Amino acid sequence: MNLILFGPPGAGKGTQAKKLAETYSIPHISTGDILRDNVQKGTELGLEAKKYMDSGELVPDDVLIGLIKVRLSEPDANHGYLLDGYPRTKPQADALTDILEKISKPIDYVLNIDVQDEELVRRLSNRRICNSCGASYHLEFNPPKTNANCDSCEGKLYQRDDDKEEVILQRLSVYKKQTQPLIKYYDDQNILVTIDGKGQVEDIFNKITNILND
Ligand code: AP5
């Protein structure tokens, strides 16, 4: 299964991606996670990316295209992939088309998760992440037992720097200008399916698997 999870910041891409990757035994390739890992390790890429991420801007295309090309050539992507957070611009989408053509792994579906702005801000501003195992919580919808520690490993919970309200609004604006136009790009190729992303995580997951298993 070759999939792209598409949608605005906070649509629930990461949440659904984890469940889908497990169900279909395909690697979850999140460019946001790869970049954050580099920021945490203090690599050259991480230092370069951090300034864009913290201000809600996109990291330059050439960096992302190089990164995704290398990641898709790794052995675990031989039997499928689930891209989360890539592509985000037309140059990234065009580069992906070229890369996938060369490795003969065309996209089966682009799953576009649709959620209204007000709900996105609510989801992102109340998200908390475990600094040890990476588990993601929501203070209202999926609350941890205490607001300070992870239920499963007791790691400390933190708020992403780009989940502050002013940065969230900038991320949404960048999404509308630079990423949303790709909906038409993939719709024109007849591989786009739009899913209503409001509701319970499990219900949305069932809607997606019904499409994929059809
Ligand atoms: P990235 O990490 O990709 O962030 P994003 O797209 O903004 O996505 P998020 O992780 O914030 O949201 P999500 O849709 O995964 O939602 P989640 O499941 O976590 O990118 C971060 C930055 O990296 C970018 O701004 C950019 O700078 C850079 N970057 C990354 N890729 C790039 C690229 N290709 N090009 C250039 N730059 C790039 O859910 C959010 C919250 O909602 C959670 O608390 C969750 O518990 C809750 N939730 C989920 N589902 C539901 C539900 N159904 N009901 C209620 N709450 C829910």
Give 132-155 pLDDT, tens digit per residue. Answer: 999 999 999 999 999 899 999 999
For the segment 91-109, the average pLDDT, to the nearest whole number, is: 97
Residue 83 lies in a domain: yes
Ligand 1 atom with the smallest distance to the CA of 9 is: 7
Say yes or no: CB of residue 175 within 6 Å of ligand 1. no
**Could you read off the pLDDT of 105-131 as tens digits, one per residue?**
999 999 999 999 999 999 999 999 999
Residue 19 lies in a domain: yes
CA distance 177 to 185: 14
Whether 127 is catalytic: yes
Residue 9 lies in a domain: yes
Which among 199, 194, 63 has a CA at the least distance from the CA of 123? 199
CATH code for position 195:
3.40.50.300
- Of all protein residues, whose CA lies closest to atom 8 belonging to ligand 1? 9
Residue 128 lies in a domain: no
pTM value > 0.85: yes
Say yes or no: CB of residue 86 within 6 Å of ligand 1. yes
pLDDT value at 69 more than 90: yes
Residue 41 lies in a domain: no
CA distance 166 to 121: 10
Tokens 């929501």 belong to residue: 138
> Residue 85's domain spans which residues?
2-27+74-116+172-212
130 with 150: CB under 8 angstroms? yes
Return the structure tokens found at 136.
Answer: 């993601």
Residue 207 lies in a domain: yes
Domain count, the chain: 1
Residue 134 lies in a domain: no
Q: What pLDDT shows up at residue 214? A: 86
Q: What pLDDT shows up at residue 147? A: 84
CA distance 176 to 5: 16
Residue 125 lies in a domain: no
Ligand 1 atom with the smallest distance to the CA of 5 is: 14
